[in-house]
Amino acid sequence: MTAICLYFQVHQPCRLKRYTAFDIGRDHDYEDGEENRRLLDKVAERCYLPANALLSNLICKHEGRFRVAFSISGALLDQLKAYRPDVLESFQGLGETGCVEFLNETYYHSLSFLFSRDEFRAQVSRHQRKIKELFGQDGKTFRFTELIYSNDLAREAESLGYEVILAEGVESLLGDRSPNRVYRASGIESGFGDSAGGQDGVGDGCGYDAKKEAGTGDGRIKVLLRNYRLSDDISFRFSNRDWREYPLTAEKYAHWIHSENGAATVINLFMDYETFGEHQWAETGIFPFLEELPGEILKHRDFVFATPAEIAGTVEPVASIDAPELSSWADTERDLTAWLGNAMQQDAAGTLYGLEADVKACNNSDLLDSWRKLQTSDHFYYMCTKWFADGDVHKYFNPYPSPYDAYINYMNILDDLSKQMKKEKRL
């Protein structure tokens, strides 16, 4: 039996207003609320509402045999509550079917694990509580921002009580092995079985030492690896008329899936939810493709749909995956250079996280909220200067005229936030 794991990342950042040096000290509202609402409305109408309705119909049509998973960032959940509660209700309706798993991540879709374990845990804890509040689920699956993964991250996720973690099926992890198997994380130190704790802005007191070197044993936490070739066939190549497989039909795609019979335990199809209707417009035929796909896959009796937690609870790992270096699902390099690859990005991130102790010492919830929203990884992505194979992708998602404009705008805001903190401390 082969399980198809269909997982969608759902995220929209809080976009920043144009903020000049003349605004420093005068304007402390950093978000472009009008633009946030305009873009959310656009994506809601093109993607979220029609795709959610389609998935609901598919779950009903296939009597629960069709199952999916979502990871919805806290940044988006906050925007949905403020601007589009109808979309939030449609996600909740999907959750009520019992066929949808909602994963945990950092609340602000941040890179916090790389800079502050206390902040990382606080954000994960907040996201856990929000998913429990909105969807009634206790998370068993963790995915870090943009599928960033390493041994150290897996160890941390296991210490927080997670049973499975998602990662990109890169060759550097797999070698000549297949991504279509369940693996266990390598380099896990025994004895980190404490559950997630801590409050926002406060260390969790669990005794975890971030500087302690990882052990060489294998952990209990399981790893599901994205089949990036099959996933990208939908996410990026579906409407490419120059692709030799164009047009991609559900029947053809299901045939590719079925050809793995006997060689695959799981096939992990992970992608942005905005693939449906936003990145791949409705005119491309992406919605009819999605509508037909489950039925085509389920025609083969040896294939089923399952969520990450369901797979982790029923399938044993075949081997361990050793990931001493960080990987992600971004760009052709599958590393972190999309966010931290140049001096501007490194300076911006270093300056931001350098404010942590002071902003938390201020005991001002508004300042803390502003600081945390500035952690969203998209802000650093906009500063990326890679204009080669992935150049068009970075240009498409960048609301600024250039990465340099993104950097200057961001640093102006950090300057103002820092001045506010200093003023708060003097009071």
With respect to residue 307, please indicate whether it lies within any of the assigned structural domains: yes
- Residues 310, 345, single domain; the answer is no
Residue 426 makes CB contacts below 8 A (sequence gap 6+) with: none
With respect to residue 279, please indicate whether it lies within any of the assigned structural domains: yes
Average pLDDT over residues 182-209: 48
Average pLDDT over residues 375-393: 78
- Which pLDDT does position 24 carry in this prediction? 97
With respect to residue 329, please indicate whether it lies within any of the assigned structural domains: no
- Residues 39, 81, single domain; the answer is yes
With respect to residue 331, please indicate whether it lies within any of the assigned structural domains: no
The range of the structural domain enclosing residue 399 comes to 337-426
Going by pLDDT thresholds of 50, 70 and 90, the confidence category of residue 424 is confident
- Residues 341, 300, single domain; the answer is no
Going by pLDDT thresholds of 50, 70 and 90, the confidence category of residue 404 is very high
- Residues 134, 251, single domain; the answer is yes
CATH number at residue 176: 3.20.110.20
pLDDT (tens digit, 9 = 90+) per residue, 73-108? 999 999 999 999 999 999 999 999 999 999 999 999
- Using the predicted structure, report yes or no on whether residue 192 has a pLDDT greater than 80: no
> How many domains does the chain divide into?
2
- Residues 209, 316, single domain; the answer is yes
- Residues 257, 385, single domain; the answer is no
pLDDT (tens digit, 9 = 90+) per residue, 272-306? 999 999 999 999 999 999 999 999 999 999 999 99
Selecting among 101, 105, 146, 158, the annotated active-site residue is 146
Kindly report each contact of residues 393-400 with a partner whose C-beta sits within 8 Å and lies 24 or more positions away, as own/partner.
Answer: 393/331, 394/338, 399/15, 399/35
With respect to residue 253, please indicate whether it lies within any of the assigned structural domains: yes
- Residues 112, 172, single domain; the answer is yes
- Residues 310, 195, single domain; the answer is yes
DSSP letter for each residue of 36-76? HHHHHHHHIIIIIHHHHHHHHHHHHHTTT---EEEEE-HHH
- Residues 66, 119, single domain; the answer is yes
User: Around 318, how many Cα atoms within 13 Å sit in the side-chain half-sphere?
Assistant: 13
> Annotated catalytic, 105?
no
36-60 per-residue burial string, b: 16 or more CB within 10 A, e: under 16: beebbeebbebbbbbbbebbbebbe
With respect to residue 330, please indicate whether it lies within any of the assigned structural domains: no
- Residues 145, 52, single domain; the answer is yes
With respect to residue 326, please indicate whether it lies within any of the assigned structural domains: no
Going by pLDDT thresholds of 50, 70 and 90, the confidence category of residue 333 is confident
CB 417 within 8 A of CB 374: yes
With respect to residue 202, please indicate whether it lies within any of the assigned structural domains: yes
Percentage, residues of the chain above pLDDT 70 = 90
Among 321, 352, 373, the domain-final residue is: 321
